């Protein structure tokens, strides 16, 4: 989820909570204000009715609320002396001319006492009140509309104002995503006056400078190691070959020298594989061009045809799709070669290889040991399923490194007697 959308989500939740609390507080404050204004009106009516009762005794005959909004009844003096004015919410039933059944009406009622001509009376005055249900319903709808308007306003502000403010960040992010060590000379740079983005730019520059230094050192190391190690190994192997060619050695000495040459040749291959892994992991293959995986597989199958025939291994090939991948041609060659050589090298005499090319997927199956390999370790360095001589244990590790470099996924599974490796582009 984008940062702008996350801010909208959190703001909408907090605004909903705030509006809910504000709505309840506003409702109770409004009810109190209405009651206070109504009580003031009832107090004013009280004074007017008592004044009229002193001047007109017919007022004292209103004993219920059918004739007026007040009712008067005579009470004992003791009750009048101990009574205090009371304001209460109540419901009375009023007869409507259009409806034969009385309807309930919410009113505010003042109950008080007064004296007239030596007699004491109880006076009840009513005043219509706003029904709470109607008030809650209207307030709820007003809150909903307010919430909707606020959310729409926030979305518009986020997509117009804040999006414009975040443009330098997204430009820098895009440049960082497309930046490649050893290939791009220009660093990702943005122009902005925002302090936070300036700090981000400085942090990115520092991190890139450090990575570039490490990259150059690693590149120099692999270059030096490739030259300084391979040259002495090649010289040592050549001298041993010359020593054997002289022919003045006995059988035991010749056998020892041959074993030493095999060890040196294995060391040379191991050194090349480790250096290759290091170059892949430090992304020292910047050449990207479209490579036809189908044509490459056919080419490698032709190269390995004689070896497969010698080992009596049959190859079943199916082509159900075409795969074109933008990558370094040298790495594509190594990728396919290692996969095919692995299937051939770890096969059995008279075995079989099944090779399928589908839509964005290669599947290679080969007969071999009935025991399944460890899928969590098969692509690790120096993992060997069998102690075969000449195996460096780096073939599939190189395949995995190339796959990671180009966002490919590689998986292994076993269904006896076949071991299967699938590569998804």
Tens-digit pLDDT profile for residues 207-218? 888 887 877 777
Instruction: Tell me: do 224 and 127 sit in the same domain.
Output: no
Instruction: Tell me: do 274 and 303 sit in the same domain.
Output: no
The two beta strands, 119-128 and 289-292, are unpaired
Phi, psi of 377 (to 5 degrees): -120, -10
pLDDT single digits (tens) 358-398: 888 999 999 988 888 878 888 887 776 655 555 667 788 88
* Structural domains counted in the chain: 3
Q: Is the pLDDT of residue 111 over 90?
A: yes
316-334 burial string, b = 16+ CB within 10 Å, else e?
eeeeeeebebebbeebbeb
Residue 66 lies in a domain: yes
Q: Is the pLDDT of residue 99 over 80?
A: no
- CATH code at position 20: 3.30.450
Residue 403: which domain range? 289-424
Q: Is the pLDDT of residue 100 over 70?
A: no
Structure tokens given for 365: 């199956």
Mean pLDDT within 121-142? 83
Residue 3's pLDDT is what?
Answer: 66
**CA-CA distance, 31 to 105, in Å (whole number)?**
17
DSSP-derived secondary structure for 254-318? HHHHHHHHHHHHHHHHHHHHHHHHHHHHTT-----EEEEHHHHHHHHHHHTHHHHHHTT-EEEEE
pLDDT single digits (tens) 22-80: 888 888 888 888 888 888 888 999 999 888 888 888 888 888 877 778 889 888 888 88
- Among 238, 241, 279, which residue's Cα sits nearest to residue 258? 241
Identify the band that residue 110 occupies on the pLDDT scale cut at 50, 70 and 90: very high
Instruction: Tell me: do 117 and 207 sit in the same domain.
Output: no
Mean pLDDT within 73-89? 88
pLDDT single digits (tens) 194-247: 888 888 888 888 888 888 787 777 777 766 666 677 778 788 888 888 887 777
Q: Which letter does DSSP use for residue 162 in this model?
A: I
pLDDT single digits (tens) 246-267: 777 788 888 888 888 888 888 8
In sequence order, what are the residues at sequence separation of 6 or more whose Cβ sits closer than 8 angstroms to the Cβ of residue 130? 34, 106
Residue 20's pLDDT is what?
Answer: 85
Residue 93 lies in a domain: yes
Instruction: Tell me: do 294 and 254 sit in the same domain.
Output: no
Instruction: Tell me: do 247 and 339 sit in the same domain.
Output: no
Residue 309 lies in a domain: yes
Residue 109, H or E segment: strand 99-116
Residue 15 lies in a domain: yes
Instruction: Tell me: do 21 and 77 sit in the same domain.
Output: yes
- Among 164, 51, 161, 35, which residue's Cα sits nearest to residue 106? 35
Using the structure block, give the residue that is written with the tokens 């308007």. 149
277 within 8 A of 312, measured Cβ to Cβ: no
Question: What mean pLDDT is reported for the chain?
Answer: 82
Per the model's pLDDT, the better-predicted residue between 179 and 115 turns out to be 115
Instruction: Tell me: do 320 and 228 sit in the same domain.
Output: no
Q: Which letter does DSSP use for residue 247 in this model?
A: -
252-287 burial string, b = 16+ CB within 10 Å, else e?
eeeeebeeebeebeeebeebbbbbbbbbbebebbee
Residue 285's pLDDT is what?
Answer: 78
Instruction: Tell me: do 119 and 224 sit in the same domain.
Output: no
300 within 8 A of 341, measured Cβ to Cβ: no
Residue 4's pLDDT is what?
Answer: 65
Identify the band that residue 102 occupies on the pLDDT scale cut at 50, 70 and 90: low
Instruction: Tell me: do 127 and 57 sit in the same domain.
Output: yes
Per the model's pLDDT, the better-predicted residue between 410 and 223 turns out to be 410
23 within 8 A of 145, measured Cβ to Cβ: no
In sequence order, what are the residues at sequence separation of 6 or more whose Cβ sits closer than 8 angstroms to the Cβ of residue 296? 332, 333, 336
User: Long-range contacts of range 176-179, CB-CB < 8 Å, 24 or more positions apart?
Assistant: 176/204, 179/208
Using the structure block, give the residue that is written with the tokens 């075995």. 351
pTM for the full predicted model: 0.52
Instruction: Tell me: do 41 and 144 sit in the same domain.
Output: yes
Residue 294's pLDDT is what?
Answer: 92
Any bridge partners for residue 356, and if so which?
318, 363
Identify the band that residue 295 occupies on the pLDDT scale cut at 50, 70 and 90: very high
């Amino acid at each position: 989820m984008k940062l702008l959308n996350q801010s909208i989500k959190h703001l909408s939740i907090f605004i909903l909570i705030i509006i809910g609390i504000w709505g309840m507080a506003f409702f109770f404050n409004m009810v109190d204000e209405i009651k206070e204004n109504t009580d003031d009106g009832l107090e004013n009516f009280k004074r007017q009715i008592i004044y009229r009762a002193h001047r007109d005794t017919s007022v004292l005959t209103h004993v219920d609320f059918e004739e007026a909004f007040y009712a008067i009844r005579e009470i004992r003096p003791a009750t009048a002396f101990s009574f205090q004015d009371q304001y209460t919410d109540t419901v009375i039933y009023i007869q409507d001319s259009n409806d034969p059944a009385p309807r309930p009406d919410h009113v505010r009622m003042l109950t008080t006492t007064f004296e007239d001509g030596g007699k004491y009376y109880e006076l009840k005055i009513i005043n219509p009140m706003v029904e709470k249900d109607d008030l809650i319903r209207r307030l709820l709808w007003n809150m909903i509309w307010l919430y909707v308007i606020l959310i729409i306003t926030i979305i518009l502000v986020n997509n117009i104002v804040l999006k414009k403010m975040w443009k330098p960040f997204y430009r820098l992010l895009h440049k960082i995503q497309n930046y490649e060590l050893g290939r791009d000379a220009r660093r990702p740079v943005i122009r902005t006056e925002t302090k936070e983005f300036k700090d981000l730019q400085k942090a990115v520059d520092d991190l890139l400078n450090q990575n570039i230094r490490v990259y150059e050192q690693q590149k120099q190391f692999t270059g030096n190691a490739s030259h300084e190690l391979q040259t002495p190994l090649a010289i040592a192997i050549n001298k041993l070959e010359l020593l054997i060619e002289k022919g003045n050695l006995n059988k035991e000495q010749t056998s020892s020298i041959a074993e030493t040459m095999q060890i040196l040749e294995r060391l040379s291959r191991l050194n090349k594989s480790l250096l290759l892994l290091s170059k892949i992991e430090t992304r020292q293959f910047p050449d990207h061009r479209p490579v036809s995986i189908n044509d490459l597989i056919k080419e490698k199958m032709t190269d390995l045809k004689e070896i497969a025939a010698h080992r009596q291994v049959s190859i079943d090939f199916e082509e159900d799709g075409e795969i074109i991948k933008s990558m370094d041609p040298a790495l594509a060659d190594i990728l396919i070669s290692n996969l095919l050589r692995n299937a051939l090298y770890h096969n059995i005499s008279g075995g079989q290889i099944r090779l399928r090319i589908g839509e964005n997927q290669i599947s290679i199956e080969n007969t071999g040991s009935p025991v399944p390999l460890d899928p969590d370790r098969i692509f690790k360095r120096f993992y060997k399923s069998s102690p075969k001589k000449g195996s460096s244990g780096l073939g599939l590790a190189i395949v995995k490194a190339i796959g990671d470099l180009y966002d490919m996924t590689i998986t292994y599974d076993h269904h006896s007697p076949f071991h299967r490796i699938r590569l998804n582009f």
